[in-house]
């Protein structure tokens, strides 16, 4: 497979070789921190340009969280908001020619999925204490050994499916644009870039929705 | 009708399984001269990739068609709820799509990571 036509292929800091997607992750982090500092420095009661734009996203995300998780879901709003902003910006930055999405690499998406997975279990343990084990027991007590096994497999399938879904979608879009570019330059890939933007937004939405569902599932009472 | 379907599928399977054997004739001829030719594994890889992603797309197409059918019918019965119905439809489509994406990941592994090189004839 040929080298991807990126702006930065990777850095070499001393004896460490930093791969390209880590460098782009740092870029996304830098952009998000710069945006937050720019808005925080000039907060006004009647919002002007940039603050208005950011409040659109935050307001929409907040309403979505309250609709899905109920009012006590706002405790977990920072986690969901960070995941949403990071994944959205990471997905979208790959549309720009010469840049690569950090989420087009299984390492980044697996990291996000593992954070969600550990949060789910920590939330469950915090809410229920040791009774959290009842979530794995199933409806009837004498079915517990079999249900335990099945529930463990279902729980392990969650981070696997979260990471693979995000990785596959973004990497697949990347490859489609690249291959179409080799076949029919300039015309068809522009249409596919529009589809890439749509896919990026939808995949962020689905990741956040699943996070909210898993966390609210860990908070509620067992069957 | 069923006889024709079974006959077509059996002939396709026979051709699919016999293809690499036929292509391996050339590999055997090269091997006698001392040069090891691993190219016969790639016929299986190409076949597997095409069939895998094709079948995944088939299942996804049918599933997403049924989802969209339900959504359009819901909107036609109750145009006021179209916002909620469309949101639910998009979520359903993304979940169904993810099954095709799992198949795509397996095909990408077969094509670009080539884990079966070590078993090549």
Distance CA B54, CA B6 (A): 19
Q: Which two tokens stand for residue A54?
A: 């950011």
Q: Residue B94: which of A167, A171, A202 has the nearest Cβ? A: A202
**Nearest by CB to A202, which of B90, B101, B102?**
B90
Helical packing angle, A77-93 and A20-40, nearest 10°? 120
For chain A, list residues whose CB is within 8 angstroms of any CB belonging to chain B.
1, 161, 164-165, 167-169, 171-172, 175, 202-203, 205-206, 209
- Give the residue with greater pLDDT, A124 vs A137: A124
Q: Is the predicted pLDDT of residue B38 greater than 70, yes or no?
A: no
Q: Which of B90, B91, B98 sits opposite A161 (nearest CB)?
A: B98
B39-83 per-position pLDDT tens digit: 677 888 899 999 999 999 999 999 999 999 999 999 999 999 898
State the pLDDT at residue A2: 59
Domain limits, chain A: 10-219
- Chain B residue with Cα closest to A2: B112
CB atoms within 10 A of CB B71: 19
- Which residues of chain A lie closer than 8 angstroms to B105, CB-CB? 164, 167-168
- Distance between CA atoms of B85 and B36, rounded to whole angstroms? 59
Query: Is A172 in Cβ contact with B101 (below 8 Å)?
Result: yes
CA atoms of A126 and A119, how far apart (whole Å): 10
A:B CB pairs within 8 Å: 33
Instruction: Give me the pLDDT at residue A223, please.
Output: 55
Stated pTM of the model: 0.82
- Dist. CA A118–CA A161, nearest whole Å: 15
CB contact under 8 A, A168 and B98: yes
SS (H, E, C) A94-130: CCCCCCCCHHHCHHHHHHHHHHHHHHHHHHHHHHHHH
Least confident of A31-35, A96-100, A128-132, A139-143: A139-143
Contact residues, chain B, for A164 at CB < 8 Å: 98, 101-102, 105
Among the partner-chain residues A168, A202, A205, the one whose CB lies closest to the CB of B105 is A168
Q: What tokens were used for A193?
A: 């870039």
Tell me which chain A residues have a C-beta less than 8 angstroms from the C-beta of B94.
Answer: 165, 202-203, 205-206
Contacts with A171 from chain B: Cβ below 8 Å = 108
Do A206 and B105 count as a contact with CB atoms less than 8 A apart? no
Give the domains, in start order, of chain B with CATH numbers.
45-112 (1.20.20.10)
- ipTM exceeds 0.90, yes or no: no
What tens digit of pLDDT does each residue of A53-87 get?
888 899 999 998 998 888 888 889 999 999 999 99
Instruction: For an interface test with B, give the residue of A106, A164, A201, A210 to mutate (most B CBs within 10 A).
Output: A164
Contact across the interface for B98 and A202, Cβ inside 8 Å: no
């Amino acid at each position: 497979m040929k080298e991807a036509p990126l702006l930065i292929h990777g850095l070499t800091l001393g004896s460490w070789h930093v791969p390209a997607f880590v460098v782009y992750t740092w870029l996304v982090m830098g952009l998000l921190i710069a945006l937050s500092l720019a808005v925080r420095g000039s907060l006004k009661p009647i919002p002007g340009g940039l603050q208005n734009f950011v409040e659109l996203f935050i307001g929409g995300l907040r309403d979505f969280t309250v609709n899905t998780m109920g009012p006590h879901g706002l405790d977990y709003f920072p986690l969901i908001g960070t995941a949403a902003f990071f994944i959205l910006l990471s997905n979208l930055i790959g549309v720009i020619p010469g840049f690569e999405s950090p989420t087009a690499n299984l390492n980044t998406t697996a990291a996000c999925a593992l954070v969600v997975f550990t949060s789910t279990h920590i939330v469950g343990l915090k809410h229920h204490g040791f009774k959290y084990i009842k979530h794995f027991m199933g409806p009837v007590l004498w079915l517990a050994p079999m249900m335990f096994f099945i529930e463990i497999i279902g729980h392990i399938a969650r981070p696997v499916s979260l990471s693979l879904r995000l990785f596959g979608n973004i990497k697949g879009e990347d490859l489609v644009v690249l291959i179409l570019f080799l076949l029919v330059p300039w015309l068809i890939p522009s249409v596919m870039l529009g589809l890439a933007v749509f896919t990026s937004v939808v995949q962020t939405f689905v990741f956040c929705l699943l996070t909210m569902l898993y966390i609210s599932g860990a908070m509620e009472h067992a069957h | 009708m069923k006889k024709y379907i079974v006959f077509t599928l059996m002939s396709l399977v026979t051709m699919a399984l016999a293809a690499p054997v036929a292509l391996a004739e050339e590999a055997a001829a090269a091997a006698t001269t001392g040069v090891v030719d691993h190219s016969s594994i790639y016929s299986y890889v190409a076949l597997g990739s095409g069939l895998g992603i094709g079948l995944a797309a088939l299942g996804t197409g049918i599933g997403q068609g049924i989802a969209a059918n339900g959504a359009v019918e819901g909107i036609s019965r109750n145009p006021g709820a179209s916002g909620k119905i469309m949101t639910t439809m998009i979520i359903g489509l993304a979940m169904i799509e993810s099954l095709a994406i799992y198949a795509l990941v397996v095909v990408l592994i077969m094509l670009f990571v080539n884990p079966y090189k070590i078993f090549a004839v």
